Amino acid sequence: MRRILSTFTALSLLVALAGCGKSRDAARAELAQMNIAYTDKAFIQSAREGNAAAIALFIDAGMNPDTKTSAGQSALEAAVLANQVDTVKVLLGKGADVNAKNKSNGTALMNAVWKGHAEIVDLLLAQGADLEVRDDRGMTALMFGAWENHTDILKALLEKGASVDARDENGWTAMMRAAVKGHTESMFMLLEKGADVNAGSMEGDTALIRAAQGGHTQTVKALLERGADINRQDKLGNTALLKAAQEGHKEVVSVLLEKGADLSAVDSEGKTALNVAEDQRHTEIVQLLKDKGAR
């Protein structure tokens, strides 16, 4: 079980760290003794390697804690990606901007969530990391958590009030991202917080359609139990049944048929589930559909 830092504990650590400064000259002298050059590159590299003592010296020596590489990576982001917890603590305690963005408009929180670094997520949240920042694709931290199925982190983000139905540039929600990968537990957590089970993307596809297309039987069952519209069509006319039949997911097709999926629904080409199953030579599904009355 991961260690969950309380806001008080995390902030106390940061305050303590911030109060341990040295004079500029003394800090530069110590860096020199460590054979570390006082350069931006060495600063970022020290963060990546988890050299927390050097990071503290760099900042005491005058380095801006938000210094970035030419590629836009800050020391905080480098430390987060490498899961260097102590270095993250030092950087935050020394004033690093918790919401600094990289060239893709991503933040340290997004990276910590993506990588599943739960302790760092706690630290960033305790420092007021913005839950609703979006990167260049419109992704939020919650979407990264759902996509990667980091349920403990999802819980922390939801408890902090992350917007459960925020949409990315394609209209996808966190729940849709969980469903498309068959992450049923994450999906349930989002639904319990009020996520729209029938949210549709810009292309009209839903969590159910995507889960069916991916052959995620348990996810399909869970969505149907929570009220997903079984006959909802995307902009190309595809239903969950059509997608499952086309991809050859017999078990999903069976579940959808048991729940009353419309056999007569047609896509933009006028094809039914039976037609697309025949086209792909999914003989068992063809027979299953015919047994249910498809013609």
Nearest to 56 by CA among 98, 90, 26, 82: 90
Please state the φ and ψ torsions of residue 232, each to the nearest 5 degrees: -60, 135
Q: How far apart are CA 147 and CA 287, in angstroms?
A: 35
Whether the per-residue pLDDT at 18 is higher than 80: the answer is no
Q: Between 40-49 and 85-93, two packed helices, what is the crossing angle to 10 degrees? A: 130
Whether the per-residue pLDDT at 294 is higher than 60: the answer is yes
Q: Where along the chain do its domains lie?
A: 1-130
- Give 27's pLDDT tier (boundaries 50, 70, 90): very high
Q: Which residue type sits at 223? A: L
As a three-state string, the secondary structure of 84-123 is CHHHHHHHHHCCCCCCCCCCCCCCHHHHHHHHCCHHHHHH
Please give the average per-residue pLDDT across 82-94, as a whole number. Answer: 98
Residue with tokens 């929180």: 109
What percent of the chain clears pLDDT 70, i.e. is strictly above it? 93
Please give the average per-residue pLDDT across 21-34, as a whole number. Answer: 92
Helices (H), the chain: 7-18, 24-33, 40-49, 52-60, 75-81, 85-93, 108-115, 118-126, 141-148, 151-159, 174-180, 184-192, 207-213, 217-225, 240-247, 250-258, 273-279, 283-291
Is the alpha carbon torsion for 212, 218, 221, 225 positive or negative? negative
Q: How far apart are CA 27 and CA 171, in angstroms?
A: 50
Count of other CB atoms within 10 angstroms of residue 219: 26
Longest dimension (CA), the chain: 85
Please give the average per-residue pLDDT across 54-65, as a whole number. Answer: 97
CATH 1.25.40.20: does it fit domain 1-130?
yes
Whether the per-residue pLDDT at 102 is higher than 90: the answer is yes
